[in-house]
Chains A and B, each alone.
Chain A
Amino acid sequence: DIEMTQSPSSLSASVGDRVTITCRASQSISNHLSWYQQKRGKAPKLLIYGASTLHSGVPARFSGSGSGTDFTLTITSLQPEDFATYHCQQSYSIPLFGQGTRLEIK
Chain B
Amino acid sequence: QVQLQESGPGLVKPSQTLSLTCTVSGDSIRTGNYYWNWIRQPAGKGLEWIGRIYPSGSTNYNPSLRGRVTISVDTSNNQFSLTLTSVTAADTAVYYCARSDYGGDFPFVFDYWGQGTLVTVS
Q: Residues of A with Cβ closer than 8 Å to B?
A: 32, 34, 36, 42-46, 49-50, 55, 87, 89, 91, 94-100
Contacts and interface: CB of A to CB of B under 8 A. Distances in A.
Contact of A43 (B49, B96, B108): B96
Determine chain B's interface SS by DSSP, over half rule: loop
A50 B98 CA distance: 18
A42 B118 CA distance: 12
A87 B46 CA distance: 8
Given A44-B47, A95-B49, A97-B47, A32 B116 contact: no
Main secondary structure of the interface of A (DSSP, over half): loop
B27 interface: no
19 contacts: A34-B110, A36-B110, A42-B116, A43-B96, A44-B110, A44-B113, A45-B113, A46-B109, A49-B109, A50-B105, A50-B106, A87-B46, A87-B47, A91-B106, A91-B109, A97-B48, A97-B49, A98-B46, A99-B46
Nearest to B108: A91
Interface string B34-51: 000000000001111100
A45 B108 CA distance: 14
Contacts of B15: none
B60 to A, nearest CB: 8
Contacts of A36: 110
Given A55-B111, A97-B46, A97-B48, A43 B116 contact: yes
Nearest to B60: A94
Nearest to B52: A95
Contacts of A42: 115-116
A94 B106 contact: no
Contacts of B56: none
Contacts of A50: 105-106, 109
